[in-house]
Copies of this chain bind each other. A is one copy, B any other.
Amino acid sequence: MPHDIPSPDRHPYRVKPGSTVDLDKIDAEDDSLYPVGKGDGKDLLKELTTEIDALQEQLYAEGKHKLLVVFQAMDTGGKDGTIRKVFAPMDPQGLRVASFKRPSENELARDYLWRVHAQVPGKGECVIFNRSHYEDIVAVRVREIFPETVWSRRYEHIVNFEKMLADEGTTILKFFLHISKDEQKARLQARLDDSEKLWKFNPGDLDDRALWSKFMRAYEDVLARTSTDHAPWHIIPANKKWHRDLAVAQILIGTLRGLKMEYPEADFDPASIRID
């Protein structure tokens, strides 16, 4: 049965265009969307992802809309986990994850949106950006890779780029997975303590952790200045993984329902077809 899902326009986690953002005041432990606890939360996620699976099949069958989902977070923020939990039930046909790591020499020779644009979804496709062009503001600013004159122009570039994508038929959802600094400490320690998680630990993560408050200020500016009606940001409290997944799933369902998709009509009469 379809769940009652709030309208995506008025979602409590959506960043209203033109508003300011203070991440220190947003409780990363919040589980108010579905205050059901971890056990019931997992059952509920199963129900939600069943609907997501059905909606994605329709997206693919209809071949009209394009869906772009952007994830940004601090290290250990849960991008990989959310993608696995919320999107893995989808049919891999029509779904693609694009990860943006350190750019290659060839990519650095072009503008920063070049490699990003290359990966945008086609009709009927859902593409997930695991990190994105937002690193070209946030990381570039905090790590002082380029001067302010360079990164400060990029807010406008990106708003315009996403507007063009939206005008040309792309639905864009952006998620910032918000964890607390203490939660990151616990998650990094857990990686160090578990030989099967150790591969995810990168000593460089500690350099970024030391710049935590600079990252928060940089994210606040990005969230405030690039959340638009055509490509809204959502700040997802992400200390509780089960609730984080439910929140992303809920917003995804609300958005996909809003597309009012239909299976394409056949251009023949099925009753007239005789299969010998």
Interface residues in chain A, defined as those with a beta carbon under 8 Å from any beta carbon in chain B? 66, 106, 109-114, 117-118, 120-125, 153, 157, 160-161, 163-165, 167-170
Chain B residue at minimal CB-CB distance from A118: B118
Contact B157 A111 (CB under 8 A): no
Tell me which of A109, A110, A122 has the highest count of chain B C-beta atoms within 10 A of its own C-beta.
A110
A114, B110: Cβ atoms closer than 8 Å: no
Partner of A157, one of B110, B125, B164, B169: B164
- Do B111 and A170 have beta carbons less than 8 Å apart? yes
Complexed CA–CA distance, A118 and B117 (Å): 8
> A113, B157: Cβ atoms under 8 Å?
no
Q: List the 3 shortest-distance A-B pairs measured between CB atoms, nearest first.
A: A109-B122, A111-B168, A160-B160
Write out the residue numbers on chain B whose beta carbons fall within 8 Å of the beta carbon of A169: 111
Report Cα–Cα, A123/B103, bound state, in Å: 15
Enumerate chain B residues within 8 angstroms of A125, measured Cβ to Cβ.
Answer: 109
Q: Shortest distance in angstroms between A22's beta carbon and chain B's nearest beta carbon?
A: 30
**Inside 8 A of A112's CB, which chain B residues have their CB?**
168
Contact of A120 among B66, B111, B160 (CB under 8 A): B111
CB<8 Å pairs between A and B, sample of 30? A66-B109, A66-B110, A106-B122, A109-B122, A109-B124, A109-B125, A110-B120, A110-B122, A110-B168, A111-B120, A111-B164, A111-B165, A111-B168, A111-B169, A111-B170, A113-B117, A114-B117, A114-B118, A117-B117, A117-B118, A118-B118, A157-B160, A157-B163, A157-B164, A157-B167, A160-B160, A160-B163, A160-B164, A161-B161, A161-B164
**Which B residue's beta carbon lies closest to that of A167?**
B153
Residue of B nearest to A107 (CB): B122
CA distance A114 to B122 in the complex (A): 10
Bound together, the chains give a CA A111 to CA B230 distance in angstroms of 15
Residues in B whose Cβ lies below 8 Å from that of A124: 109
Q: Once bound together, how far apart are the Cα atoms of A170 and B112, in whole Å?
A: 12
Alpha-carbon gap, A28 to B118, bound state (A):
39
- B residues in contact with A113, CB < 8 Å: 117, 164
Nearest B residue (CB) for A160? B160
Which partner residue on chain B sits nearest A106 by CB separation? B122
Sample of 10 more A-B contacts, CB < 8 Å, known A109-B124, A112-B168, A157-B160: A106-B122, A110-B120, A110-B168, A111-B169, A113-B117, A113-B164, A114-B117, A114-B120, A118-B118, A161-B161
